[in-house]
Amino acid sequence: MVTAEMVKELRNITGAGMMDCKNALVETGGDKEKAINLLREKGLSKAAKKSGRVASQGLVDAYIHLGGKVGVLLELNCETDFVAKTPEFKELARDLCLQIAATNPSYLRREDVPSDVVESEKEILRNQALREGKPEKIVDKIVSGRIEKYYQENCLMEQQFIKDPDFTIEKLINEKIAKMGENMVVRRFVRFEIGEGQ
Protein backbone atom coordinates (compact mmCIF):
# COMPACT_ATOMS: atom_id res chain seq x y z
CA MET A 1 0.00 0.00 0.00
CA VAL A 2 1.43 3.37 -1.07
CA THR A 3 0.78 6.10 1.49
CA ALA A 4 0.78 9.88 1.07
CA GLU A 5 3.76 10.00 3.45
CA MET A 6 5.74 7.65 1.18
CA VAL A 7 4.91 9.80 -1.86
CA LYS A 8 5.95 12.97 0.00
CA GLU A 9 9.24 11.43 1.12
CA LEU A 10 10.06 10.27 -2.41
CA ARG A 11 9.21 13.72 -3.77
CA ASN A 12 11.54 15.34 -1.22
CA ILE A 13 14.37 13.01 -2.23
CA THR A 14 13.94 13.24 -6.02
CA GLY A 15 12.16 16.53 -6.69
CA ALA A 16 9.83 14.67 -9.10
CA GLY A 17 6.11 15.48 -9.37
CA MET A 18 3.61 13.95 -6.93
CA MET A 19 1.93 11.74 -9.55
CA ASP A 20 5.30 10.59 -10.90
CA CYS A 21 6.34 9.64 -7.36
CA LYS A 22 3.07 7.84 -6.66
CA ASN A 23 3.22 5.92 -9.96
CA ALA A 24 6.85 4.94 -9.36
CA LEU A 25 6.01 3.62 -5.89
CA VAL A 26 3.01 1.70 -7.22
CA GLU A 27 5.11 0.25 -10.06
CA THR A 28 7.87 -0.86 -7.65
CA GLY A 29 5.54 -2.21 -4.95
CA GLY A 30 6.42 0.56 -2.51
CA ASP A 31 10.20 -0.06 -2.67
CA LYS A 32 11.71 3.40 -2.17
CA GLU A 33 15.16 2.61 -3.64
CA LYS A 34 13.68 0.98 -6.75
CA ALA A 35 11.27 3.92 -7.12
CA ILE A 36 14.20 6.38 -6.95
CA ASN A 37 16.03 4.44 -9.67
CA LEU A 38 12.88 4.26 -11.81
CA LEU A 39 12.36 8.02 -11.53
CA ARG A 40 16.00 8.62 -12.42
CA GLU A 41 15.69 6.41 -15.50
CA LYS A 42 12.54 8.22 -16.59
CA GLY A 43 14.14 11.58 -15.80
CA LEU A 44 17.15 10.81 -17.94
CA SER A 45 14.91 9.91 -20.86
CA LYS A 46 13.10 13.23 -20.35
CA ALA A 47 16.49 14.95 -20.29
CA ALA A 48 17.42 13.30 -23.59
CA LYS A 49 14.25 14.70 -25.20
CA LYS A 50 15.07 18.20 -23.96
CA SER A 51 18.73 18.14 -25.05
CA GLY A 52 17.85 19.26 -28.59
CA ARG A 53 16.25 22.49 -27.41
CA VAL A 54 18.13 25.80 -27.72
CA ALA A 55 19.80 27.02 -24.53
CA SER A 56 20.59 30.69 -25.12
CA GLN A 57 20.07 32.10 -21.61
CA GLY A 58 22.13 31.36 -18.50
CA LEU A 59 24.97 32.88 -16.59
CA VAL A 60 28.71 33.27 -16.32
CA ASP A 61 29.97 32.23 -12.91
CA ALA A 62 33.40 32.82 -11.39
CA TYR A 63 35.16 31.03 -8.56
CA ILE A 64 38.43 31.96 -6.88
CA HIS A 65 40.20 29.38 -4.71
CA LEU A 66 43.25 29.10 -2.45
CA GLY A 67 43.61 32.80 -1.67
CA GLY A 68 43.64 33.83 -5.30
CA LYS A 69 45.92 31.05 -6.60
CA VAL A 70 43.25 29.30 -8.73
CA GLY A 71 40.33 30.85 -10.62
CA VAL A 72 37.57 29.49 -12.85
CA LEU A 73 35.20 31.19 -15.30
CA LEU A 74 32.26 29.14 -16.56
CA GLU A 75 29.40 29.80 -18.97
CA LEU A 76 26.36 27.64 -18.19
CA ASN A 77 23.34 28.03 -20.47
CA CYS A 78 19.66 27.19 -20.11
CA GLU A 79 16.52 28.01 -22.10
CA THR A 80 14.99 30.83 -20.04
CA ASP A 81 16.12 33.73 -17.92
CA PHE A 82 13.68 32.50 -15.24
CA VAL A 83 15.61 29.24 -14.71
CA ALA A 84 18.96 31.06 -14.91
CA LYS A 85 17.96 33.06 -11.83
CA THR A 86 16.92 30.08 -9.70
CA PRO A 87 19.07 29.07 -6.71
CA GLU A 88 19.31 25.51 -8.07
CA PHE A 89 20.76 26.66 -11.41
CA LYS A 90 23.23 28.95 -9.64
CA GLU A 91 24.22 26.09 -7.32
CA LEU A 92 24.86 23.87 -10.35
CA ALA A 93 27.10 26.57 -11.86
CA ARG A 94 28.98 26.87 -8.57
CA ASP A 95 29.40 23.09 -8.28
CA LEU A 96 30.78 22.97 -11.82
CA CYS A 97 33.25 25.77 -11.01
CA LEU A 98 34.41 23.85 -7.91
CA GLN A 99 34.77 20.70 -10.03
CA ILE A 100 36.92 22.51 -12.60
CA ALA A 101 39.05 24.15 -9.89
CA ALA A 102 39.66 20.80 -8.18
CA THR A 103 40.15 18.48 -11.17
CA ASN A 104 41.57 20.78 -13.86
CA PRO A 105 39.91 19.15 -16.92
CA SER A 106 41.54 19.94 -20.25
CA TYR A 107 38.41 19.51 -22.37
CA LEU A 108 34.64 19.73 -22.09
CA ARG A 109 33.81 16.48 -23.98
CA ARG A 110 35.77 13.63 -25.52
CA GLU A 111 34.84 14.98 -28.97
CA ASP A 112 36.87 18.10 -28.10
CA VAL A 113 40.12 16.15 -27.65
CA PRO A 114 42.16 16.66 -30.84
CA SER A 115 42.77 13.41 -32.75
CA ASP A 116 46.56 13.93 -32.68
CA VAL A 117 46.40 14.13 -28.85
CA VAL A 118 44.39 10.89 -28.72
CA GLU A 119 46.79 9.12 -31.09
CA SER A 120 49.81 10.34 -29.11
CA GLU A 121 48.20 9.17 -25.85
CA LYS A 122 47.39 5.77 -27.37
CA GLU A 123 51.02 5.39 -28.49
CA ILE A 124 52.30 6.21 -24.99
CA LEU A 125 49.81 3.78 -23.41
CA ARG A 126 50.71 1.07 -25.92
CA ASN A 127 54.43 1.42 -25.15
CA GLN A 128 53.69 1.39 -21.41
CA ALA A 129 51.71 -1.85 -21.72
CA LEU A 130 54.47 -3.50 -23.75
CA ARG A 131 57.12 -2.37 -21.21
CA GLU A 132 54.97 -3.87 -18.45
CA GLY A 133 55.33 -7.19 -20.30
CA LYS A 134 51.71 -7.48 -21.38
CA PRO A 135 51.12 -9.97 -24.23
CA GLU A 136 50.89 -8.30 -27.66
CA LYS A 137 47.43 -9.81 -28.31
CA ILE A 138 45.81 -8.02 -25.34
CA VAL A 139 47.70 -4.70 -25.63
CA ASP A 140 44.99 -3.09 -27.80
CA LYS A 141 42.34 -4.02 -25.22
CA ILE A 142 44.48 -2.53 -22.42
CA VAL A 143 45.06 0.67 -24.44
CA SER A 144 41.30 0.93 -25.09
CA GLY A 145 40.56 0.69 -21.34
CA ARG A 146 43.25 3.20 -20.43
CA ILE A 147 42.13 5.70 -23.07
CA GLU A 148 38.64 5.54 -21.51
CA LYS A 149 40.25 6.42 -18.18
CA TYR A 150 42.07 9.31 -19.89
CA TYR A 151 38.71 10.68 -21.10
CA GLN A 152 37.22 10.26 -17.60
CA GLU A 153 40.06 12.24 -16.07
CA ASN A 154 40.48 14.96 -18.72
CA CYS A 155 36.95 15.64 -20.04
CA LEU A 156 34.69 17.56 -17.66
CA MET A 157 31.45 15.84 -18.75
CA GLU A 158 32.91 12.37 -18.05
CA GLN A 159 34.52 13.16 -14.70
CA GLN A 160 33.11 11.80 -11.46
CA PHE A 161 31.38 14.58 -9.53
CA ILE A 162 33.64 15.46 -6.57
CA LYS A 163 30.65 15.85 -4.23
CA ASP A 164 29.09 12.50 -5.25
CA PRO A 165 31.30 10.04 -7.20
CA ASP A 166 28.21 7.98 -8.14
CA PHE A 167 27.47 10.77 -10.64
CA THR A 168 29.41 11.87 -13.67
CA ILE A 169 29.08 15.57 -14.51
CA GLU A 170 26.97 14.62 -17.54
CA LYS A 171 24.60 12.57 -15.35
CA LEU A 172 24.42 15.42 -12.81
CA ILE A 173 23.43 17.91 -15.53
CA ASN A 174 20.91 15.45 -17.03
CA GLU A 175 19.24 15.07 -13.64
CA LYS A 176 18.98 18.86 -13.34
CA ILE A 177 17.49 19.02 -16.86
CA ALA A 178 14.90 16.40 -15.91
CA LYS A 179 14.09 18.11 -12.61
CA MET A 180 13.93 21.70 -13.89
CA GLY A 181 12.41 20.93 -17.28
CA GLU A 182 14.90 22.85 -19.41
CA ASN A 183 17.92 22.00 -21.50
CA MET A 184 21.21 23.03 -19.84
CA VAL A 185 24.58 23.20 -21.54
CA VAL A 186 28.08 23.96 -20.31
CA ARG A 187 29.13 26.26 -23.15
CA ARG A 188 32.76 26.85 -22.10
CA PHE A 189 35.10 27.21 -19.18
CA VAL A 190 38.60 28.39 -18.42
CA ARG A 191 40.78 27.66 -15.39
CA PHE A 192 43.63 29.89 -14.31
CA GLU A 193 46.40 28.94 -11.90
CA ILE A 194 49.22 31.16 -10.69
CA GLY A 195 52.54 30.06 -12.18
CA GLU A 196 51.06 27.97 -15.00
CA GLY A 197 52.51 28.48 -18.46
CA GLN A 198 55.90 29.73 -17.29
pLDDT in tens, 139-148: 889 999 999 9
Q: Domain residues for 103? A: 57-108+155-193
- Give the pLDDT of residue 20: 80
Which has more confidence, 25 or 16? Answer: 25
How far, in Å, CA of 39 to CA of 135, rounded? Answer: 45
Q: 129: which residues sit within 8 A by CB, 6+ positions away?
A: 139, 142, 143, 146
What's the predicted TM-score (pTM) here? 0.70
Same domain, 62 and 103: yes
Same domain, 72 and 164: yes
Same domain, 41 and 131: no
In a domain, 198, yes or no: no
pLDDT in tens, 67-105: 889 999 999 999 888 999 999 999 999 999 999 999 999
